[in-house]
């Protein structure tokens, strides 16, 4: 979502880094580039004005003048101000006697129902026992959708029928929510996630219903699910919801899309309500806790290694890690293991996005054609899956006729099969080197 903004900011700082000393005119020119980049990214103009003012005041002071690396100091200031702009890290308040109540609100189409399921997966991963509550009494499909999602993620869903109710029937929705909370307490659930009804626009009927639900369940958290693709409209929606029902946090959805990113940078500053989660994909596991320092680092091209590590921990089990460590130690890594690792890596998200999180590889990630890395994985898997078990465990038996058969079976060429075999041979050679004296120190880390 922040690719265009990130590229323009990095261009501005690249010009600054080429200078040994920085003058006031250099700082003014950089601030102008930063201001234009933020405005083009659809950041609220009041936020941009205040943001660049704070940077200018700090950059004009002794902090930059006394620095041996003034360009790096300016970038450091921008990073710190971005973190301040984005607010603190997203943390849910689940204190008090269980079950804790989390109420999701938002406009129709913002992704509330899917987000409810994603949030339940996140809560269960954190050791909670969640219950999903179908509180949308206006759209029958919302109930069946939530029930289906609950079945997919193995989380129970509380609902009271699937018949639509007349508009403004807040009492019916609040009664369902009150009953659901009692049910959650009796059954030992620690958290209840309420998927409330949305509308195409904010109206008095909608807010009246939400207010009655709020009074019935007294939620610890009221989270607005806002579509990041709507730009500044998301900021206006957040302001109105916060004024009418009192928000405790925000969940930005569709962050993986091609939105310009202005909503994410504006919404916290304008409303004062913290962003707690970001939806980064379609899968029920694609919900990330919001860390402002990590997002600021991504925007400025500094990478985000911590998020990669967390995704890897979620994708690789301890058993898989131990098994892979043993194979590396004994140099028994096969093509079968290779394709298993590729499938696991795919669970971590799009490879282009992962490359963009590695410091120094942001430019490479931008230059790759859309979907190029995913297509490469598909081709690799197809080739390996077209091999026999013997060929996957011992590629040396693959002669010319076998290569032709593998190419036909995978819909690829013999040249592509040869390329994969060469790459795998190089990988095996590297693993063998780790067994030698040169790699003894690295291998000791795997023990």
> What distance in Å separates the CA atoms of residue 136 and residue 164, rounded to the nearest whole number?
9
The CATH number of 100-301 is 3.40.50.300
Residue 316 is predicted with a pLDDT of 55
Residue 191 is predicted with a pLDDT of 94
> What distance in Å separates the CA atoms of residue 312 and residue 304, rounded to the nearest whole number?
13
Domain boundaries in the chain?
3-86, 100-301, 308-446
Name 144's bridge partners: none
DSSP 118-153: HHHHHHHHTT--EEEEEE--S-HHHHHHHHHHHHHH
Residue whose tokens read 């030698």:
436
Q: Are strands 100-105 and 191-196 parallel, antiparallel or unpaired?
A: parallel
- Flag whether the pTM goes above 0.75: no
User: pLDDT 10s digit of each residue in the chain, 447 long?
Assistant: 567 777 787 777 777 776 667 777 878 888 888 888 888 887 888 888 888 888 888 877 666 656 656 677 777 888 888 888 887 766 788 888 889 999 999 888 788 899 999 999 999 988 999 999 998 888 768 888 899 999 999 999 998 865 545 444 444 788 889 999 999 999 999 999 999 888 766 777 788 888 888 889 999 999 999 887 776 777 888 888 888 888 998 888 877 665 556 777 788 888 888 889 888 778 888 888 888 887 777 777 665 555 555 555 555 566 666 665 666 565 567 777 777 767 666 666 665 555 555 555 455 455 544 555 567 778 888 888 899 988 988 888 999 999 999 999 989 999 989 988 888 887 777 666 655 544 444 344 334
Strands (E), 41-180: 100-105, 130-135, 157-158
Residue 444 is predicted with a pLDDT of 44
Residue 442 is predicted with a pLDDT of 37
**Closest among 321, 322, 288, 324 to 306, alpha carbons compared:** 288
CATH topology (fold) of 3-86: 1.20.120
The CATH number of 308-446 is 1.10.260.30
> What distance in Å separates the CA atoms of residue 180 and residue 183, rounded to the nearest whole number?
5
> What distance in Å separates the CA atoms of residue 28 and residue 277, rounded to the nearest whole number?
35
Whats the size of the chain, residue-wise? 447
């Amino acid at each position: 979502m922040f690719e265009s903004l990130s590229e323009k900011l990095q261009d501005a700082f690249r010009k600054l880094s080429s200078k040994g000393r920085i003058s006031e005119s250099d700082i003014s020119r950089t601030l102008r580039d930063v201001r234009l980049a933020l405005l083009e990214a659809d950041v609220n103009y009041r936020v941009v004005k205040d943001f660049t003012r704070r940077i200018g005041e700090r950059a004009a002071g002794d902090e930059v003048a006394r620095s041996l690396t003034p360009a790096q100091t300016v970038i450091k200031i921008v990073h710190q101000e971005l973190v301040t702009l984005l607010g603190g890290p997203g943390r849910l308040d689940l204190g008090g006697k269980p079950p804790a109540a989390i109420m999701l609100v938002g406009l129709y189409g913002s992704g509330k129902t899917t987000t409810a399921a994603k949030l339940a997966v996140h809560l269960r991963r954190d050791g909670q026992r969640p219950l999903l509550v179908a509180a949308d009494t206006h759209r029958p499909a919302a109930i069946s959708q939530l029930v289906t999602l609950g079945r997919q993620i193995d989380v129970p869903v509380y609902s009271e029928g699937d018949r639509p109710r007349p508009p403004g029937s807040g009492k019916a929705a609040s009664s369902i929510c009150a009953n659901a909370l009692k049910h959650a307490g009796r059954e030992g659930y620690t958290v209840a996630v309420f998927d409330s009804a949305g509308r195409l626009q904010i109206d008095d009927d909608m807010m009246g219903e939400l207010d009655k639900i709020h009074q019935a369940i007294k939620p610890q958290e009221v989270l607005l699910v806002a579509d990041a693709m709507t730009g500044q409209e998301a900021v206006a929606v957040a302001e109105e919801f916060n004024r009418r029902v009192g928000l405790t946090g925000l969940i930005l959805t569709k962050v993986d899309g091609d939105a310009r990113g202005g909503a994410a940078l504006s919404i916290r500053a304008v409303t004062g309500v913290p962003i707690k989660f970001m939806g980064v994909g379609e899968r029920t596991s694609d919900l990330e806790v919001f860390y402002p320092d990590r997002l600021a680092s991504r925007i400025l091209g500094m990478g985000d290694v911590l998020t990669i590590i967390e995704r890897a921990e979620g994708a690789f089990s301890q058993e898989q890690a131990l098994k892979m460590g043993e194979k590396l130690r004994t140099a028994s890594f096969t093509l079968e293991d290779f394709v298993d690792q590729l499938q696991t890596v795919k669970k971590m998200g799009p490879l282009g996005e992962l490359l963009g999180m590695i410091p120094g590889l942001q430019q490479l990630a931008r230059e790759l054609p859309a979907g190029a890395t995913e297509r490469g994985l598909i081709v690799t898997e197809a080739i390996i899956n077209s091999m026999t078990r013997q060929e996957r465990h011992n590629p040396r038996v693959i002669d010319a006729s076998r290569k032709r058969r593998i190419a036909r079976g995978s819909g690829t060429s013999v040249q592509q099969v040869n390329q994969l075999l060469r790459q795998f041979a190089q990988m095996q050679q590297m693993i063998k080197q780790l067994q030698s004296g040169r790699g003894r120190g690295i291998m000791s880390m795997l023990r």
